[in-house]
């Protein structure tokens, strides 16, 4: 935990004062806040989101907007959700699809969940680098976490696409892709989407072989690893 | 007048008397067994208990002193009886008797009987084994625990080790989801008889199952009897009461016989359907009584994921000499019917005070395998049934049920998500004291209901009835004493159909293709 705290502070200092941080950076911030409760992570993510929203930037954020809404209760975040997603754009990057799914579940009576799963299905056929596949897999997990399992055909499509993405990534990971894969394996196992008996240890082994780093992908994996480490400690 | 033995086991038998009566006979009869009077019956289906295995019997049926018929039969063999008391079951209503009863089940040899004698048995879910019978004797009550934390969960889907498929155990409303095990669960069992005059009480009225019923708390609510991939199962005589959700749920199971059962739950209890075979084939339901808080009978075949994956309809279903009271539907098809429901006959039944008689419900999104066809009601009597038949293809169920796509009255493309309703036939049906309407059909504009045929059907109305919305679809309005209301139907055939006391036109039609009306 101390290591993680140090890495978190290094991560924050690297990205403070930056322009608009990438979605991965915000994702890591929110994951670290969820895992550690570090208040600076929440403050950093909220500050970055506020700057983006007030600048009139219409490009879609990730599900961190919903995380910030839940963590802070600020109406401005709910207003932003409605403005951005009442009429969703024709094309959406993978990182924005969980936000769309969350919006549909929470504010739109699930009316367009079929569109969410159809967009993921279209993305599935695109060529991606290992790093892009890693972010795509994590995006699927974020959507799986919010889609109601009673819409099973859509929920299950996302699960199947995630499993395929992980299967494609396992043989060809490197560098940042390794960190993303280890996060996907550990989080997929935690959520019950992957067989934990096989994939949790695979993810943990992969994580323990990674060089410590303050980049977003590593910190996402580190935050995920914390859940499992905490569980082991309780035993 | 006809009498036949429809079922004989080692310890019981079931007699069917066909004198023109439906659930009750037209007059009482005396049954004499091996020369001794055993009972008087006014039931078209009567069970006999306390028989001895591997024994010849002579059954005489008398109308007062007159012998009507004599039937001879021999009971089946039995290997052994496992009395649960010998396994340590106490039956005092305090002690948890689950382990003792489960031990008796697991230790019972083939063709053996697990005997639960009179007593109050507190249990958590029990699991069946193949090739045994389980008798709940008169005065025996299995009372299900009220603490869900003590219930095992049946996982919905577990990926196979080679990761090529899934193993499905649990189910909830047509999807393969985690659910609590039932009071009695069978998984891959065959050749089982559950019988007797005892009671299985889910005690949901004393637990919290019916509070926040649409929330998953731990897992989805269990049933009283859940049969997953079972075959050759008979249930005779048992009373089922106060289930957490659906009462009897055979699932992907075949060759099922349910005789002389009784299913009850309070009228306001949520989702306490009586008998919900799902993707089952060769199902016989004879002489059953239902009085509960949702559909008495609901034939199901899953939602689109399971329907599309397995394409397993619910088919070859015979429902006869039953009494359906107080539920939402007497005999319902759907709404989860993505695998299709076909070849269903309901005959010689009495429906009393249910909201609807025949109730078909489906919606866009059930899929192209969701085919309902060959539904026949023959010789059925409905008393104070508000709407004798309804077909609703815009049913607003599921989290997205009220979305524009599901509810639109504009034609949507016919595609892989569009269900189909084929042929529905009512023959020799009388419906007295109708309330809302004679019938209400709401097809899909893009895929209308194929054909409704009414032959020798008589409707009379109760002017003091309360208005009721006949179908649960957005925009459907309450009706009172309306005739036959139909929208989006290809063919409507009415031969010798009478209506007395309806308000307004006997037919109110919107986009109905061909209408044949013969007096």
B403 contacts A152? CB cut-off 8 A = no
- Which two three-digit tokens encode residue B402? 């009220």
Of the candidates A91, A96, A63, A59, the one whose C-alpha atom is nearest the C-alpha of residue A77 is A63
- Which two three-digit tokens encode residue A4? 């993680």
Q: How many CB atoms lie within 10 A of CB A205?
A: 11
Using pLDDT thresholds of 50, 70 and 90, give the confidence band for residue A235. low
Model ipTM over 0.95: no
A110 contacts B305? CB cut-off 8 A = no
Q: What is the mean pLDDT of residues A29-37?
A: 87
Q: What is the mean pLDDT of residues A182-195?
A: 96
* Residues B209/B221, Cβ–Cβ less than 8 Å: yes
Least confident of A15-29, A218-232, B304-318: A15-29
Q: How many CB atoms lie within 10 A of CB B100?
A: 20
DSSP state of B412: P
Phi-psi region of B501 (alpha: psi -120 to 50; beta: other; left: phi over 0): left
- Tell me the three state secondary structure of residue A162: helix
pLDDT of residue A17: 66
Q: What is the CA radius of gyration of chain B?
A: 23
Interface probe with A: pick from B399, B401, B407, B417, most Cβ of A within 10 Å: B399
* CA dihedral sign of residues B11, B259, B270, A114: positive
- Which two three-digit tokens encode residue B378? 């023959």
Catalytically annotated residue among B328, B348, B355, B398: B328
- Tell me the three state secondary structure of residue B222: coil
Q: How far is CA B22 from the centre of its chain?
A: 17
* Residues B310/B279, Cβ–Cβ less than 8 Å: yes
SS (H, E, C) B267-334: CCCCCCCCECCECCEEEEEECCEEECCCCCEEEECECHHHHHHHCCCEEEEEEECCEEECCCEEEEEC
- Give pLDDT tens digits for A162-176: 999 999 999 976 777
Phi–psi pair at B476, nearest 5 degrees: -75, 135
pLDDT of residue A173: 64
Of the candidates B65, B2, B73, B70, the one whose C-alpha atom is nearest the C-alpha of residue B29 is B65
A152 contacts B303? CB cut-off 8 A = yes
pLDDT of residue A60: 76
Describe the crossing of helices A130-146 and A113-124 by its angle, rounded to 10 degrees. 160
> If 0-12 CB within 10 Å is exposed, 13-18 middle and 19+ buried, where does residue A58 land?
exposed
pLDDT-above-90 percentage for chain B: 97
Phi-psi region of B368 (alpha: psi -120 to 50; beta: other; left: phi over 0): alpha
Question: Which residues in chain A have Cβ-Cβ distances shorter than 8 Å to B308?
Answer: 153
Triad A161, B334, B361: Cα angle to 5°:
110
pLDDT of residue A18: 63
On the question of a cis peptide bond just before residue B335, with omega within 30 degrees of 0, the verdict is yes
- Residues of chain B falling short of pLDDT 50: none
Q: Does A156 touch chain B (CB under 8 A)?
A: yes
Is the pLDDT at A59 greater than 80? The verdict is: no
Q: Does A110 touch chain B (CB under 8 A)?
A: yes
How big is the A-B interface in CB pairs under 8 Å?
Answer: 38
Question: Which residues in chain B have Cβ-Cβ distances shorter than 8 Å to A113?
Answer: 400
Q: Does A149 touch chain B (CB under 8 A)?
A: yes
User: Is B328 annotated in the active site?
Assistant: yes
- In DSSP notation, B64-98 reads TTEEEEEEEEEPPP---EEEGGGGT---EEEEE-H
- Which two three-digit tokens encode residue B509? 């039609």
- Give pLDDT tens digits for A79-112: 999 999 999 999 999 999 999 999 999 999 888 9
Of B254 and A50, the one with more pLDDT: B254
Question: Which residues in chain A have Cβ-Cβ distances shorter than 8 Å to B176?
Answer: 152
For residues B149 and B170, what is the distance between their CA atoms, to the nearest angstrom? 17
């Amino acid at each position: 935990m101390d290591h993680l705290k140090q890495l978190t502070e290094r991560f924050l200092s690297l990205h403070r004062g930056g322009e608009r941080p990438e979605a991965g950076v915000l994702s890591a911030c929110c994951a670290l806040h969820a895992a550690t409760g570090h208040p600076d992570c929440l403050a950093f993510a909220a500050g970055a989101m506020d700057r983006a929203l007030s600048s009139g930037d219409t490009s879609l954020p990730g599900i961190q907007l919903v995380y910030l809404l839940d963590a802070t209760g600020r109406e401005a975040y709910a207003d932003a959700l409605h403005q951005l997603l009442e009429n969703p754009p024709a094309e959406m990057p993978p990182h924005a699809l969980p936000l769309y799914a969350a919006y549909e579940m929470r504010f739109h009576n699930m009316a367009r969940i079929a569109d969410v799963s159809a967009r993921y299905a279209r993305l599935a056929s695109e060529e991606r680098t290992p790093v892009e596949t890693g972010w795509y897999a994590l995006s699927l997990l974020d959507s799986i976490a919010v889609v109601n399992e009673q819409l099973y055909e859509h929920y299950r499509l996302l699960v199947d696409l995630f499993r395929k993405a992980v299967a494609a990534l396992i043989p060809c990971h490197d560098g940042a892709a390794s960190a993303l894969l280890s996060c996907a394996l550990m989080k997929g196992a935690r959520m019950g989407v992957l067989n934990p008996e096989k994939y949790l240890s695979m993810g943990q082994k992969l994580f323990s072989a990674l060089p410590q780093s303050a980049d977003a992908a590593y910190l996402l994996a580190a935050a995920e690893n914390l859940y499992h480490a905490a569980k082991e400690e309780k035993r | 007048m006809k009498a036949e033995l429809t079922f004989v086991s080692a310890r019981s038998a079931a007699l069917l008397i066909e004198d023109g009566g439906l659930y009750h006979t037209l007059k009482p009869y005396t049954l004499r067994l091996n020369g001794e009077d055993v009972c008087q019956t006014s039931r078209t289906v009567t069970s006999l208990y306390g028989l001895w295995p591997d024994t010849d019997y002579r059954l005489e049926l008398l109308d007062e002193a007159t012998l009507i018929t004599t039937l001879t039969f021999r009971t089946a063999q039995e290997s052994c009886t496992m009395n649960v008391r010998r396994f340590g079951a106490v039956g005092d209503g305090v002690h948890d008797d689950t382990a003792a009863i489960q031990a008796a089940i697991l230790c019972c040899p083939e063709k053996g009987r697990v005997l639960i004698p009179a007593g109050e048995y507190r249990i958590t879910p029990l699991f069946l084994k193949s090739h045994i019978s389980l008798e709940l004797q008169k005065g025996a009550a299995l009372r299900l625990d009220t603490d869900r934390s003590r219930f095992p969960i049946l996982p919905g889907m577990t990926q196979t080790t080679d990761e090529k498929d899934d193993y499905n155990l649990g189910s909830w409303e047509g999807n393969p989801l985690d659910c609590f095990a039932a009071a009695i669960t069978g998984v891959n069992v065959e050749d089982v008889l559950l019988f007797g005059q005892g009671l299985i009480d889910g005690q949901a009225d004393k637990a919290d199952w019916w509070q926040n019923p649409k929330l998953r708390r731990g897992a989805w609510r269990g049933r009283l009897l859940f049969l997953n991939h079972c075959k050759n199962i008979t249930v005779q005589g048992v009373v089922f009461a106060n289930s957490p959700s659906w009462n009897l749920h055979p699932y992907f199971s075949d060759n099922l016989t349910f005789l002389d059962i009784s299913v009850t739950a309070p009228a306001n209890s949520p989702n306490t359907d009586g008998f919900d075979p799902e993707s089952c084939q060769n199902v016989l339901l004879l002489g059953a009584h239902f009085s509960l808080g949702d559909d008495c009978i609901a034939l199901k075949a899953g939602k689109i994921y399971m329907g599309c994956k397995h394409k397993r309809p619910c088919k070859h279903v015979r429902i006869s000499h039953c009494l359906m009271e107080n539920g939402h539907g007497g005999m319902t098809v759907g709404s989860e019917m993505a695998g299709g429901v076909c070849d269903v006959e309901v005959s010689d039944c009495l429906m009393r005070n249910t909201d609807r008689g025949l109730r078909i419900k489906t919606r866009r999104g059930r899929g192209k395998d969701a085919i309902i066809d060959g539904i026949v009601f023959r010789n059925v009597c409905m008393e104070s049934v508000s709407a004798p038949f309804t077909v609703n293809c815009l049913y607003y169920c599921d989290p997205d049920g009220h979305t524009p796509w599901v509810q639109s009255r504009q034609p949507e493309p016919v595609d892989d998500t569009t269900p189909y309703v084929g042929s529905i036939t009512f023959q020799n049906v009388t419906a007295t004291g109708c309330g809302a309407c004679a019938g209400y059909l709401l097809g899909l504009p893009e895929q209308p209901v194929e054909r409704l045929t009414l032959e020798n059907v008589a409707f009379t109305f109760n002017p003091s009835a309360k208005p009721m919305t006949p179908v649960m679809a957005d925009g459907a309005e309450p009706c009172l004493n309306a005739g036959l209301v139909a929208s989006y139907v290809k063919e409507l055939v009415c031969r010798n159909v009478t209506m007395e006391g309806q308000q307004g036109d006997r037919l109110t039609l919107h986009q109905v293709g061909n209408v044949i009306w013969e007096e």
